[in-house]
C-alpha cells in the first residue's frame, strides 16, 4: 500500500495533509467506519427480527423511528463533515500543493457515502418499498 501511495502522491503530501491536526481526520474516519458497521449490523438485525416475526405469525416490532433516525444521521453527518473538513480544516491547516489530492480523496469518500446510504435505505425500508411486509 505504501508503494502505491508513494507513486501517486508527491513526497510533501506523504507527510500528512493536516500538519498537526491529522489526528482529527483520523478519529472522524475511525468513528465513521465504526458507525457504518453498527448501522449495517442494526439493519441486518432488524431484518432478521422481521423475518422471525413473520415465521412466528406475530407482528414485527415497529422500528420505523430508529431506522429513520439512523438514516437521517447518515444523510446529514458525513456531508457536514466533508464541508467542515474542506472549508475550515484544510484551508487553515492543509498544504496548498496537495489540495487536488485532498479533493480527489473527498470524492472517493463521497462515492462510498452514497453507496452506504443507498444500502442502508434498501436494508431499512426495502421490504416496505417492495411490498414484502
Q: What pLDDT digit, counting tens, does each position of 92-124 carry?
A: 777 888 888 888 889 999 999 999 999 999 999
pTM summary value:
0.77
Number of H helices, E strands in the chain: 5, 0
Residue 7: per-residue pLDDT: 57
What residue segments make up the domains of the chain, in order of their start?
A: 20-129
Asked whether the beta carbons of 39 and 127 are under 8 A apart, the reply is no
Q: How far is CA 106 from CA 26, 46, 85, 100, in A?
A: 14, 31, 9, 10
Q: How far is CA 65 from CA 71, 72, 94, 108, 130, in A?
A: 10, 10, 39, 30, 19
Q: How far is CA 22 from CA 7, 13, 32, in A?
A: 21, 12, 15
Using 50, 70 and 90 to split pLDDT, how confident is the model at 1? Answer: very low
Asked whether the beta carbons of 70 and 39 are under 8 A apart, the reply is yes
Q: How far apart are the first and last CA of the chain?
A: 45
Long-range contacts, 7-10 (Cβ 8 Å, 24+): 8/101, 9/98, 9/101, 10/97, 10/98, 10/101
Residue 48: per-residue pLDDT: 93
Residue 91: per-residue pLDDT: 80
Using 50, 70 and 90 to split pLDDT, how confident is the model at 15? Answer: low
Amino acid at each position: 500500500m505504501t508503494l502505491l501511495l508513494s507513486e501517486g502522491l508527491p513526497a510533501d503530501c506523504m507527510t500528512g495533509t493536516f500538519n498537526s491536526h491529522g489526528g482529527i481526520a483520523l478519529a472522524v474516519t475511525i468513528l465513521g467506519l465504526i458507525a457504518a458497521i453498527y448501522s449495517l449490523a442494526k439493519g441486518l438485525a432488524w431484518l432478521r427480527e422481521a423475518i422471525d416475526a413473520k415465521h412466528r405469525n406475530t407482528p414485527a416490532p415497529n422500528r420505523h423511528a430508529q431506522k429513520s433516525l439512523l438514516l437521517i444521521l447518515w444523510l446529514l453527518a458525513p456531508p457536514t463533515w466533508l464541508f467542515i473538513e474542506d472549508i475550515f480544516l484544510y484551508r487553515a491547516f492543509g498544504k496548498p500543493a496537495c489540495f487536488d489530492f485532498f479533493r480527489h480523496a473527498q470524492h472517493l469518500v463521497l462515492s462510498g457515502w452514497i453507496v452506504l446510504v443507498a444500502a442502508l435505505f434498501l436494508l431499512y425500508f426495502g421490504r416496505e418499498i417492495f411490498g414484502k411486509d
